[in-house]
Amino acid sequence: MATWVLLVLTCVPAAFAQSGPVQKNWPMASGNYENSRYSALDQITSDNVKNLRVAWTFGTGVNRGHEEAPVVVGSTMYLVTPYPNFLYALDLSQSGAIKWKFEPKPLAAAQGEACCDYVNRGVAVADGRVFMNTLDGRTIALDADSGKLLWDRRLCDINVGETMTMAPLVIGDKVLVGNAGSQFGARGWIQALDAKSGTTAWKAFSTGSDADCLIGPSFKPYYAQDRGHDLGISTWPIDQWKIGGGTVWGWVSYDPDLDLLFYGTGDPASWNADVRPGDNKWCSGIFARRPSTGEAVWFYQYTAHDLYGHDGINESIVTDIELKPGEGKRKVLLHADRNGHLYVLDRQSGEVLSATPFVRVTATTGVDLKTGYLQFVADKKPQLGKTVRDIAPAAPGGKDWQPSAFSPRTGLMYLPHQTLSMDFEEAPVNYIAGTPYIGAHAKFYADPVDPGDGSRGRFTAWDPAAQKAAWTIKERFPVWCGTVVTAGDVVFYGTMDRWFKAVDAKTGRELWKFQVDSGIVSQPITYLAPDGKQYVAVVAGVGGWPGKIVSNDLKPEDPGSAHGFGNAMKDLPNYTAKGGTLYVFCLQ
């Protein structure tokens, strides 16, 4: 295993005026409650970004898939690694010197229950505490200054396939966390823990009775199919909901004015949809809830009776936009779903205002805005013992977990995503606790039509009002990292073939790039350091679902490895090796 290394270079102070509110910190993985990943910092601009240089680097000691975001509060950066989930506190006034390190020692057996690499997506800092999740399903609170353990709660049972990879979110005195493990038949949930004690304030399941799902008199979904009693049971075969998936391992957004939190639910288990006829509530959709009690306010199901592993966990961006000239701004959520559609939802009611394909889609014909239902193509329905070809988007979707960004300056949403199709065949499946519960064979490959040139990823700027792309950049591999956009009109993202890039937020023109030591699948951030300068940080370390062929040493000749990704990524080892290095940049 690699040992940590600290490299310090000199950055010349940059004297630039700071306009608007100064967002010094990056206290949560998403940067803010809106999940916009927008920073008001503007020292780095489209004119001077070419002068970015490495300020310092830090070796994490773990050569696995790094999907985390660094988190910054005051003069400290907090960085959590993949399993074994080391947590570092780094001193920003000392070029990343270690203040303290915490080793939670998760159970080794959890590695066998992780479907898509041993990743962790970040921590949260609030009120002098730092909150982290571990792969074996524990949520831990530490003193942010000293690293002293405050409490440690085990929330998951790895014996039934539950793990935890999401970044926690703190709202008031509640810490929100959820489980992973749909591919093992784990039953999904989200729960709120008391920030001071770690005790459970409330817990809401994604399947089961209304009582289990915290659905009561306040629940008023917009569409008729989401109204009724105990739909989390009646839309499943008998007892199938108990192993039905719907895990909550993605992003939580919050609107303090409406006092509503929003989060997506995972796909239903298993991938063999014939074993679960019905709409399979409340999987592959989005809940709006009250953070204090967990009571559900509304729900919308992006993909009823999902056929292709298209869960709904992707982030929902909270913003107000004018959809039609003269009609004023609407309170909306922007969501790029794995089913290939970019949704604009009314966040007060859950009504779908628009749903537009942002990649080639062959499996469905669109969303009926009157009923809210996604319309499936009969010829693309998977069958037992028959391979159905060219299903687009593939199971990872038009976009997977990798978070997008939104700039109020440009009105554009910046999407890191993939362009993949797949061949898919259902297979017999039986549930055995703690073992994969897939029930399908899949093979992914570059979309043969769009773009049709063998590239497998794109970085797209999407205009949600016009419902079309403003510009797009093709990449060789899926763009599996997150992104950040700034008031300097610069967008940062990374690629799996080791490039960290800055592009013009308005035009997409490449402004700067730097080659790191391993593919990037993490989340870049920007912050104002104690010296008053703006910095940009990103972690290099290839892995995640598409990068398992490298991080887990899989055989390129096996097209079915990594649940189908092996075929699409067999050339990745030619472009990157394993890694685990934090890079921090500033203007020179």
Q: Kindly provide the b/e burial profile for residues 389-399, where b requires at least 16 CB atoms within 10 angstroms of the residue's own CB.
A: ebbbbbbbbbb
Q: How confident is the model at residue 518 (pLDDT cuts 50, 70, 90)?
A: very high
Helix segments in 169-256, DSSP class H: 231-234
Strand-by-strand arrangement of the 71-73 sheet? 71-73, 76-80, 87-91, 97-102
User: What residue has token string 């499946």?
Assistant: 429
pTM for the whole structure: 0.95
Tell whether the model's pLDDT for residue 135 goes beyond 70.
yes
How confident is the model at residue 22, as a pLDDT? 57
Tens of pLDDT, residues 437-470 = 999 999 999 999 999 999 999 999 999 999 999 9
How confident is the model at residue 256, as a pLDDT? 98
- Judging by DSSP bridges, how do beta strands 296-301 and 317-322 pair with one another? unpaired
Tell whether the model's pLDDT for residue 5 goes beyond 50.
no
How confident is the model at residue 9, as a pLDDT? 39
Q: How confident is the model at residue 556 (pLDDT cuts 50, 70, 90)?
A: confident
Tell whether the model's pLDDT for residue 190 goes beyond 80.
yes
Where is 551: in which H helix or E strand? Answer: helix 544-551
Mean pLDDT for all residues in the chain: 95
- Judging by DSSP bridges, how do beta strands 483-486 and 38-39 pair with one another? parallel
The rounded distance, in Å, linking the Cα atoms of 252 and 428 is 34
Tell whether the model's pLDDT for residue 237 goes beyond 50.
yes
How confident is the model at residue 555, as a pLDDT? 87
How confident is the model at residue 560, as a pLDDT? 81
How confident is the model at residue 559, as a pLDDT? 81
Give the SS3 label for residue 534: strand
Contact (Cβ atoms closer than 8 angstroms) between residue 373 and residue 304: yes
Token pair recorded at residue 393: 């988007």
Q: How confident is the model at residue 14 (pLDDT cuts 50, 70, 90)?
A: very low
How much of the chain exceeds pLDDT 90, in percent? 93
Domains of the chain, each with CATH number or no CATH? 6-587 (2.140.10.10)
Which residue from 148, 129, 157, 151 is spatially nearest to 139, judged by alpha carbons? 151
Classify burial at 375, counting beta carbons within 10 Å of its beta carbon; exposed 0-12, middle 13-18, buried 19 or more: exposed
How confident is the model at residue 562, as a pLDDT? 87
The rounded distance, in Å, linking the Cα atoms of 490 and 585 is 14
Tell whether the model's pLDDT for residue 17 goes beyond 70.
no
Q: What angle do CA 211, 214, 215 make, to 5 degrees?
A: 85
How confident is the model at residue 212, as a pLDDT? 98
Tens of pLDDT, residues 211-233 = 999 999 999 999 999 999 999 99
How confident is the model at residue 548, as a pLDDT? 94
The rounded distance, in Å, linking the Cα atoms of 64 and 463 is 35
Lowest mean pLDDT among 19-28, 145-154, 243-252, 404-413: 19-28
How confident is the model at residue 11, as a pLDDT? 45
How confident is the model at residue 558, as a pLDDT? 83
How confident is the model at residue 561, as a pLDDT? 85
Mean pLDDT of the 156-181 span: 98
